[in-house]
Amino acid sequence: MVFVMHPLDRLYDQVLARKNADPQRSYTAKLFREGVAKCAKKVGEEGVEVAIAAISGDKRERVAESADLLYHLAVLWVAADIDPQEIYAELAARENRSGLDDKAARKGVVK
């Protein structure tokens, strides 16, 4: 059996490898140098761009902007010391739970 890494894991590993690269030669390293707040801002910007692309009706643009969002999310994960496995575990814990119940629980709302 051949083990193939998930593309998000490969992306995370690439981003992690560039964390200490020369910011003059690596956009990723430049983002890290600017700090977590800058990385978070980029995630927000890319999220808006995905939403705009979703409305535009252009599938190619939706795909490209979604890829940009995932890249910037991976950068934020590295900057904030979050391993993708932690995200996967959280998603797994939410399986078979109602999204409405989960949202209410996170807000401390009791049904």
Global confidence as pTM: 0.84
Computed on alpha carbons and rounded to an integer, the radius of gyration of the chain in Å comes to 17
What is the chain's pLDDT, residue by residue, as a tens digit (111 residues)? 788 889 999 999 999 999 999 999 999 999 999 999 999 999 999 999 999 999 998 999 999 999 999 999 999 999 999 999 999 999 998 888 777 776 777 676 444
Angle at 15 between CA 11 and CA 17, to 5 degrees: 115
Both structure tokens of 111: 């049904």
Both structure tokens of 17: 């490898």
To which H or E segment does residue 97 belong? Answer: none
To which H or E segment does residue 91 belong? Answer: helix 84-94
Both structure tokens of 41: 């801002």
CATH code 1.10.287.1080 region(s) in the chain: 7-80
Specify whether domain 7-80 bears CATH 1.10.390.10.
no
